[in-house]
Amino acid sequence: MSEDYEDEEVEFKSNTEITSKKTTWVIDKLLGEGGFGAVYKVKDKQSGKFYAMKVERKQEKKPSKLKMEIAILKLVASERKNSHFTEIVDRGKKDKEGYFFLVMELAGSSLADLKKKRAKAFSAPTGLSVSQQCLEACQDLHKYGFIHRDLKPANYACGADKKAHTIYILDFGISRKIINDRKELKTPRVTCRFKGTLKFASLACHKNQELGWKDDCESWFYLLMELILPAGLPWKGISDKGTVSKMKEEVRSKKETYLGIKCGAELEKIILYLDQLQYQDHVDYQYIYKTLNEACSTCGGRMDAPYDWEKE
């Protein structure tokens, strides 16, 4: 590989062909650019079917995030019947051009885009049921000793077409394995750099503490609030870390936090439960699922109802 490529983005024009051992992939369009590369919609030249291709520039000094992503997707494959992980279809590297690629199942819009399109919060039954699927994905990842560290609506998407009712978790760019080879929890580091997205970061992340399973769940809880609170998260638009952290601490005891939704008591129960957990603790996901179901009944809805975007 030529080092001249290292600082350049990998960019493909429509109709560029990428040949692998399996088939030829034809670039359709750019779906988005992330922290470590780009994602394209591609067509399998043989079958005519569409997929998503993630491309990463090969770097001599930095570890490959795409390799980590592939390792995770291989581990969790077929974890449950309606898996929340996209299936790996093909992968490879282009030494001469200096990049890695991963072809996976094509998902639909991200939860962030679906909410933006709606221009208001999701209905409580959609938000609660979608969040349950988001937490299932997180639980499946945790089972293998990983934590995600960047759970947010932009990192989840609904499935394409017939799979519009299934939620997929997309990006594992900053995931971390917190279990060692002997399957023991790693000793927490004294201090850690802030990782993830300010709006959804857990309080421990604000305090530069080692993150555990419960921190993903705290971020997931902010995601749930973001999806269903009519006014959105109280710290939206604020970029000062200290102010956001203070507001996160305050919402826990504020009655107005859950304004506009009927299931405030159930949501409070979930965050109070998560707040009791420490770095080393496992999460009682069943307790959270049960409470989400109760919240849905309180709101007069059903967890198995069609989602807002399936009706609209």
Ligand X SMILES: Nc1ncnc2c1ncn2[C@@H]1O[C@H](COP(=O)(O)OP(=O)(O)OP(=O)(O)O)[C@@H](O)[C@H]1O
Residue 161 makes CB contacts below 8 A (sequence gap 6+) with: 108
Which lies closer to ligand X via its Cβ, residue 33 or residue 250? Answer: 33
- Our finding on whether 204 is near ligand X (CB under 6 A) is no
- Our finding on whether 31 is near ligand X (CB under 6 A) is yes
CA-based nearest residue to 77, from 8, 161, 168, 180: 168
- Our finding on whether 134 is near ligand X (CB under 6 A) is no
Which lies closer to ligand X via its Cβ, residue 137 or residue 263? Answer: 137
CA 5 to chain centre: 29
Residue 19: which H helix or E strand, with range? strand 17-19
Which lies closer to ligand X via its Cβ, residue 70 or residue 170? Answer: 170
- Our finding on whether 30 is near ligand X (CB under 6 A) is no
Q: Specify which residues 257 forms β-bridges with.
A: none
- Our finding on whether 155 is near ligand X (CB under 6 A) is yes
- Our finding on whether 137 is near ligand X (CB under 6 A) is no
Q: What are phi and psi of 101, to 5 degrees?
A: -140, 155
Which lies closer to ligand X via its Cβ, residue 135 or residue 157? Answer: 157
- Our finding on whether 63 is near ligand X (CB under 6 A) is no
Binding residues for ATP: 54
- Our finding on whether 219 is near ligand X (CB under 6 A) is no
Binders of ligand X in range 173-192 (CB under 6 A):
173
- Our finding on whether 159 is near ligand X (CB under 6 A) is no
Of 6-14, 28-36, 56-64, 178-186, the segment contacting ligand X by CB under 6 A is: 28-36
Residue 295 makes CB contacts below 8 A (sequence gap 6+) with: 124, 128, 263, 266, 267
Contact 124, 295 (CB under 8 A): yes
